[in-house]
Homo-oligomer: A and B are copies of this chain.
Amino acid sequence: MKREDRILLAHGGGGKLTRELIEELFLPFFKNPILSELGDSAVLEFENLKLAFTTDSYTVDPIFFPGGDIGSLSIYGTVNDLAMMGATPLYISVSLIIEEGFPIEQLERITRSMKEACSKAGVEVVTGDTKVVGKGMADKIYITTAGIGIIPANVSLSLRNIREGDLVIINGPIGEHGIAILMMREGITLEGDIKSDSQPLNHIVGEMVKIEGIKAMRDLTRGGLGAVLCEIASATGLAIQIEEEEIPIKHEVLSACEILGLDPLYVANEGKFIAIVSPESGEEVLRVMREREEGKDSRIIGRIEKQPKGKVVLRTKIGGSRIVEMPIGEELPRIC
């Protein structure tokens, strides 16, 4: 925090600077055992009831993009953060900050899209707020959702469960959301049809958590697969070895990344996650994941090792290996 005295775009990027802001500014003030877990959702324990609780603000630009819009994104993003704790998402709050002059027709389109996303995910909007700010005080519309889900009594996902030998499973190809947004923003057209992968993950997770041996899950949003792996390695003090060859990525996304000079490892997804599972349960988890559309391309991409402590090692296709570093900040602001 001492190095910067003003907020940079990278402070919101889900990388090192975001982490510093949380660890050096927010955590010291708000320190409590629930927050300190820093999971995708907080876990709240009531008598006989375990709830997941999470929030996210959505500031994506453009607000309509191939594969979704800020409305559906704001529902799925929060649903997925609940799902990553093994929760069944139930209730959503929606708070809008709208720029004066925003077309009501577009607001209606966004609202309809939120409603459809809620139906698909099986959640309900139960409370909300609307604020309007003057022209030039926001960029069209920002949406903040919070969500509540129930965690089944026998489910307890946490990075603390992770052990050497555990497997890293991904549910499908990476990089689509970030590339779809960026191409639209930059007005680039390429062959192939790159759409955001924005989708609800709670149904596939609901099937997965019935299997024993699932240790933790994380969705691969800001900072992409790379940032999430680094976070897990750093939090557990264990190493993660990843096989580049096993990481699913579509040809069009790879081409776009090459043209744009981006490493797909760090590009945001909105419908992808990794599960860390015990070696014994790997086959069963894969089988269950592949039965659903959102998991049909599931793959084991790596495993947990002891060394090098707290690091992520990528074994490249040509047989070399390199350390995957935590990104400083998202290269692409307002991606979600």
Contacts and interface: CB of A to CB of B under 8 A. Distances in A.
Contacts of A21: 130
A99 B6 CA distance: 10
Contacts of A48: 47-49
A5 to B, nearest CB: 6
Interface string A1-12: 100111111111
Interface residues of A, number: 80
A133 B139 contact: yes
A90 B49 CA distance: 15
B115 A30 contact: yes
Contacts of A12: 98, 130-133
Contacts of A104: 1, 4-7, 25
Interface string A273-284: 000000000000
A118 interface: yes
B124 A35 contact: yes
B57 A127 contact: no
B127 A41 contact: yes
A132 B35 contact: no
Given A56-B95, A98-B12, A124-B35, A111 B7 contact: no
A242 interface: no
Contact of A132 (B8, B111, B146): B8
A114 interface: yes
Contacts of A76: none
A201 B4 CA distance: 38
A33 to B, nearest CB: 9
Contacts of A244: none
A285 interface: no
Q: Which of A57, A102, A127 has the most CB of B within 10 A?
A: A127
Contacts of A93: 42, 53-55, 146
A59 B114 CA distance: 23
A95 B57 contact: yes
Interface of A: 1, 4-13, 18, 21-22, 25-26, 29-30, 32, 34-35, 41-42, 44, 46-49, 51, 53-59, 90-91, 93-105, 107-108, 111-112, 114-115, 118, 124-134, 136-139, 142, 144, 146, 148, 150, 333-334
